[in-house]
Structure 1
Amino acid sequence: MKVKHKVLSASCLLAMSMLTLPAQAAETDTAAAPLQVEWDMRARHEQVDNDAFSRDARADTLRLRLGLRASFGDGWSALLEGAGVASAGNDYNSGANGHTQYPGITDPRGSELNQAWLAWQGDSFGVTAGRRRLLLDNQRWVGNSGWRQHEQTFDGIGVQWQPASGWTLRYDWLDRVHRVAGRDALNPQARERRLDTHLLNASYVHGQQQWTGYTYLHDDRDVATASTVTSGLRWTGKPAATDGGFGWALEAAQQRDYADNPQSFAHTYWLAEPSWTQRGVTAKLGWEHLGGNGHHALQTPLGTLHAFNGWADQFNVTPAGGLDDRYVAFNGNLGQRGIAARIGWVVGWHDYRATHRTDGDRHYGSEWNASLSAPLADGLSALVKVSDYRADGFGRDDARLWLQLEWHGRQPLLR
Structure 2
Amino acid sequence: MFTVRTVTRSLLLASTTAILSMPMTAHSAEDPADSLAEAVTGGTAYLNVRLRYENVDQANFTEDANAFTIRTKLGYKTGTYEGFSGVVEFEDSRNLADEKYNNTINGLGAIYPVVADPSHTEVNQAYLSFTGLDGTKISAGRQSINLGNQRFVGTVGWRQNDQNLDSVTVVNTSLPDTKFFYGYVWNVNRIFGNDSPAGDHSSNSHLFNAEYSGFEYGTVTAYAYLLDNNDVAGFSTNTIGVRFAGKAKVADKTHVLYELEYANQTDAKDNPGDYSVNYILASGGVGFAGASLTATYESLGSDDGNVGFATPLATLHKFNGWADKFLATPAAGLDDLYFTGAYKFDGALKGLKAAATYHKFTSRFGDVDYGTEFDLLVAYAIDKNYSVAVKYADYNADTYSVDTQKLWFTIGLKY
Is the counterpart of residue 251 in structure 1 residue 257 in structure 2? no
Distance 1:36 1:196 in 2: 33
Is the counterpart of residue 176 in structure 1 residue 187 in structure 2? yes
Instruction: Name the counterpart of 1:85.
Output: 93
Change (3 A) 1:123 1:28: farther
1:17 Cα deviation from its structure 2 partner: 6.3
Instruction: Name the counterpart of 2:309.
Output: 298
Instruction: Name the counterpart of 1:45.
Output: 53
Instruction: Name the counterpart of 2:73.
Output: 65
How many corresponding residue pairs? 384
Any gaps of 5 or more consecutive residues in structure 1?
1-15, 410-415
Is the counterpart of residue 276 in structure 1 residue 250 in structure 2? no
Is the counterpart of residue 21 in structure 1 residue 32 in structure 2? no
Which digits, 9 at most, give the CA deviation of each residue in 1:5-35, with x for residues without a partner?
xxxxxxxxxxx966733599xx999554731
Is the counterpart of residue 167 in structure 1 residue 178 in structure 2? yes
- Report percent identity of matched pairs: 33
**Larger deviation: 235-244 or 346-355?**
235-244
Please state whether the residue corresponding to 2:249 is helix, strand or coil: coil
Please state whether the residue corresponding to 1:144 is helix, strand or coil: coil
Instruction: Name the counterpart of 1:309.
Output: 320
Instruction: Name the counterpart of 1:318.
Output: 329
Instruction: Name the counterpart of 1:233.
Output: 242
Instruction: Name the counterpart of 1:56.
Output: 64
**Structure showing greater relative contact order (alpha-carbon pairs closer than 8 Å, 6 or more residues apart):** 1
Instruction: Name the counterpart of 1:407.
Output: 413
Query: Conserved in 1, the CA contact under 8 Å of 2:229 and 2:235?
Result: yes
Is the counterpart of residue 343 in structure 1 residue 352 in structure 2? yes
Please state whether the residue corresponding to 1:240 is helix, strand or coil: strand
Distance 2:222 2:80 in 1: 34
Runs of 4+ aligned structure 1 residues displaced above 4 Å come to 16-19, 27-31
Q: Over aligned residues, Cα RMSD in angstroms? A: 2.0
Query: Conserved in 1, the CA contact under 8 Å of 2:351 and 2:382?
Result: no
Match of 2:392 among 377, 386, 392: 386
1:89 Cα deviation from its structure 2 partner: 1.6
Query: Conserved in 2, the CA contact under 8 Å of 1:284 and 1:329?
Result: yes
Distance 1:224 1:366 in 2: 31
Change (3 A) 1:142 1:118: same
Change (3 A) 1:191 1:259: same
Distance 1:319 1:291 in 2: 10
1:123 Cα deviation from its structure 2 partner: 3.6
Please state whether the residue corresponding to 2:378 is helix, strand or coil: strand
Query: Conserved in 1, the CA contact under 8 Å of 2:26 and 2:43?
Result: no
Is the counterpart of residue 135 in structure 1 residue 143 in structure 2? no
Counterpart of 2:397, as a letter, is A
Any gaps of 5 or more consecutive residues in structure 2?
13-21, 29-41
Distance 2:63 2:301 in 1: 34
Counterpart of 1:114, as a letter, is N
Distance 2:259 2:119 in 1: 38
1:125 Cα deviation from its structure 2 partner: 1.1
Instruction: Name the counterpart of 1:76.
Output: 84
Change (3 A) 1:19 1:49: farther
Please state whether the residue corresponding to 1:106 is helix, strand or coil: coil
Instruction: Name the counterpart of 2:340.
Output: 329
Distance 2:64 2:70 in 1: 20
Distance 1:332 1:47 in 2: 26
